[in-house]
A and B are shown apart, each in its own frame.
Chain A
Amino acid sequence: MIHAENIYFKYYKEYVLKNINFSVKNGEIFGIIGKTGSGKSTLVNILSGLVKPDEGTVFIDGKNIFNKKESGNLLSKKISTVFQHPEKQLFNKCIYDDIAFSMKNQNIPEDIIKKNITEVCKFLNISDDILNSSPFCISGGEKRKCALACALVTKPKILILDEPTSGLDAYTANKFLNYIKEYHNKEKSTIIFTSNSVGNFAYLCDKILILDNGEEKILDKPENIFKKCKELGFSAPNIWQIISIINSKGYNIPEKTSTISEMQENIWKLIKEKEVENKCKI
């Protein structure tokens, strides 16, 4: 369990995070949403144990992560962070070395490194050609996938993603999302992500924290956040907007519908129900 308590952080004399409090249960997906400059990335750095807050602290499974015993290498075994534009971090002579980098820093034996890399590459569809190529010779989407592999290869208990789909096209972003979804289903690890919009990611979450100018504006379930999107200054996901229009006409499509295929199924169900109703009337 992750528990953030009274977090305050300032750059020079200006507070960028003020009194942030939340808890994330093990295996939950937690979204941090806020506009540019709202303090999302700073909060990610604090949750990763990389930056110490001016006040308050973060507990993981009851242990203060800023205690000397918990920090550094020990923490990197528990938490993996995918930063904004993570492709920047790739620098080794081949992708394999980059994926193995964090495990080598943790002194994990070579055979386990090989096994983990094979597994993660199979999971993310990274071919041997890409594994052996230089990180400077592959496409942006592939680089992002490899950066995700760098984070997943250690099988972290906690995965933190800072705006993971920024700069990606819709197709690649969707694919990326599916990998994270699958990984969560498989490993049941805790996932924290940040985003600047209440987009596709929001559906995956168990809880969402909306940050506004470094302050906690609202902490609630996604369905409740979607209802308040206008007040909060965000636009609700397209599927949610369509559902609310259809439901306002007296129909009842489940609010948890998150994908186009689920939407298709629900609409077919509605049509069939209507047909049955009409037949009964005749």
Chain B
Amino acid sequence: MQNLTFGKYISGNSSIHKIDPRIKIMASILLFSFIFSAKNLVSLTFVFFALLGTVLLSSIKLSRFLKSLKFILIFTSITSFINLIFEVYTMNKSIFDVKYNIVANSFITLLKLFSLILISSVIMYTTSPAGISAAISSLLSPFKYLGLNTEEIAITITISMRFLPILLSEAKNMILIQKSRGVSIEEKSIILKAKALLFISVPVFVLSLKKAHELAEAMESRCYNVNSQRTKYKILKLKREDLVAIIYIFAIILGVILCNKIKI
């Protein structure tokens, strides 16, 4: 749990920090879809290195990203292994007949997941919750004409993201508290492990409800009303850095399209 870094904004002044959050969100959606459409190892390796460049530009320590990847590495390795086994099984061949493309397919899945995590980590680390909220609200604004309350959706998403790291740290504390009361988290039996998890999840759930209630009261005390016309302290405007970012994203997409055409 210590390696979970999702939702933690790290303030900074890098060129990635300065990019308009709307561009970051749109770019991530575009990149997600192009990563999924990537067909071969060359295109994915290209995307992966392009993303590594973004990570270096963000001036956030690489070790932070590696920590979030470490947690996922175990998960992705298992899924890749299952993928490998299934492919061998469906092709009706023995495990010793594993051809290059089956192993490559598993590696492609691994790289796809890594790239997705890198994109989300870059966005989470370099965009403040307020920036994300403003971006979501701005991007959803056309849906106002369809009768959707976009402000409400934006604030809901922002609050959930804001509370994720808090709940994680509460869960960490609760593990220590219950350990001191004799609950053994490192039990080998699955039933005992599930029981121990219950002793942690129930108080954390109660705490999250309390925090939600406190937040609702704080918002009400400051006369927050979803339906009222809201003004913004920071109005999002596109700058020169944003144009550079757009060009960079399109270059990656073009690279993926071209690499997809390479036949190995």
Contacts and interface: CB of A to CB of B under 8 A. Distances in A.
Asked if A pairs with B, the answer is yes
Interface of A: 45, 48, 50-51, 72-73, 76-77, 79-81, 83, 86, 88-91, 101-102, 105-106, 136, 150
A91 B203 contact: yes
15 contacts: A48-B176, A48-B180, A50-B179, A51-B176, A73-B184, A76-B181, A81-B180, A83-B177, A88-B173, A88-B203, A89-B178, A89-B203, A102-B182, A106-B182, A150-B181
Contacts of B183: 105
Given A91-B202, A91-B203, A105-B184, 9 more contacts: A45-B176, A73-B182, A79-B180, A83-B173, A88-B177, A91-B199, A101-B182, A102-B182, A105-B183
Contacts of B176: 45, 48, 50-51, 83
Nearest to B177: A89
B216 interface: no
A72 B186 contact: yes
**Most B C-beta atoms less than 10 A away, residue of A80, A81, A89, A136:** A89
Residues of B in contact with A, size category: 10 to 19
Contacts of B180: 48, 50, 76, 79-81, 83
Contacts of B174: 88-89
B195 to A, nearest CB: 10
A67 to B, nearest CB: 15
A76 B179 CA distance: 8
Interface string B172-198: 011011111111101000000000000
B203 to A, nearest CB: 4
A147 B63 CA distance: 39
A268 B218 CA distance: 51
B262 interface: no
A51 B173 CA distance: 11
A89 B202 CA distance: 10
Nearest to A92: B202
A136 B184 contact: no
Given A83-B176, A89-B177, A72 B184 contact: yes
A70 B195 CA distance: 23
B207 interface: yes
B32 to A, nearest CB: 29
Contacts of B178: 89
A102 B199 CA distance: 12
B223 interface: no
Closest A-B pairs by Cβ, 10 of them = A105-B182, A102-B181, A76-B182, A91-B203, A81-B180, A89-B177, A91-B202, A50-B176, A102-B182, A106-B182
A157 to B, nearest CB: 14
B235 interface: no
Contacts of B206: 91, 136
B207 A88 contact: yes
Contacts of A81: 177, 180
Nearest to A147: B177
Nearest to B181: A102
Interface in B137-194: 170, 173-174, 176-184, 186
B213 to A, nearest CB: 12
A80 B177 CA distance: 10
A151 B178 CA distance: 12
**Most A C-beta atoms less than 10 A away, residue of B179, B184, B206:** B179
